[in-house]
Amino acid sequence: MLVSWTSIPLCLKYNAIDIISRGGIKELCVYQTESSKEDMLSLAKKALNSEPGIPGKD
C-alpha cells in the first residue's frame, strides 16, 4: 500500500529526515545484504509497531 507523503504526520516526516541525514538508509542496505528475509520482515514489523499513527499499518 502506497501512502502519500502529505498524509504522513509531521513527526514521522521528521523521523524519516533524521534517519536519512544520519546515514540510516545506508545501514539498512548493509543489513539487508547481510540478513535473511525473515530478519528484515521482523525489523520492519518492529519499526512499524514502534511508531503510533502510521497510516495503513493496520
Contact between 19 and 25 (Cβ < 8 Å)? yes
pLDDT digits over 12-21, tens only? 777 778 878 8
Domain ranges of the chain: 9-50
Q: What is the pLDDT of residues 2-55, one digit of tens each?
A: 667 677 777 777 777 887 888 888 887 888 788 888 888 888 888 777 766 666
- Half-sphere CA count of 38, side-chain side, radius 13 A: 0
C-alpha cell at 40: 528484515
Q: Quick check: pTM over 0.75?
A: no
Q: Is there a contact between 8 and 17 (Cβ–Cβ < 8 Å)?
A: no
